[in-house]
Amino acid sequence: FGMIAAAAAVISIATRIAMPDEWIYFGILHCIAVLTLIGVVFLRLPLALTLIATLALFAAWITDNFGPPGLLRSSFFDPRYLAWIGLAVMPERSNDYVPLFPWATPFFAGLSIASIAIRTRLLHRLAAIGT
């Protein structure tokens, strides 16, 4: 986590200096770092909460892609200090923009599936098939 967060900070600083109009304020490394922290928290919570969060994110993704325009997104989230959440209508320009939403959706799906597999010892049972 520390290396990813440090790399994200270095990239933000370097691109802010080199490209002040299109600097990377929340790119892929930033997203990975934040989702890592969120994932650590959710690993310690009951599986039911992780599954509920996964379903809520999936429902939000469905709504955002197939529902009425503007239902989830708002210009309130357009400034950089809020755009990283992923609900901006027109986020400020960046060379690498990877907000939490919608990318938390596949992250939480993977976290849920992995948590279920670990709790049910699915990996051990699959490994035993080949022996």
Q: Which residues does 32 contact at the CB level (< 8 Å), separation at least 6?
A: 4, 8
pLDDT tens digit sequence for 2-52: 999 999 999 999 999 999 999 999 999 999 999 999 999 999 999 999 999
pLDDT tens digit sequence for 33-46: 999 999 999 999 99
> What are the two backbone dihedrals, phi and then psi, of residue 95, each rounded to the nearest 5 degrees?
-75, -20
Q: Is-contact 68 24, C-beta < 8 A?
A: no
Q: Is-contact 22 95, C-beta < 8 A?
A: yes
Q: What is the domain range of residue 59?
A: 2-129
User: Number of structural domains, the chain?
Assistant: 1
Is the pLDDT reported for residue 127 higher than 90?
no
Residue 44: exposed, middle, or buried by beta-carbon count in 10 A (0-12, 13-18, 19+)? Answer: exposed
Q: Which of 99, 98, 101, 96 is nearest to 23 (CA)?
A: 96
Q: What is the pTM of this model?
A: 0.87
Q: How far apart are CA 30 and CA 104, in angstroms?
A: 12
Q: How far apart are CA 48 and CA 112, in angstroms?
A: 9
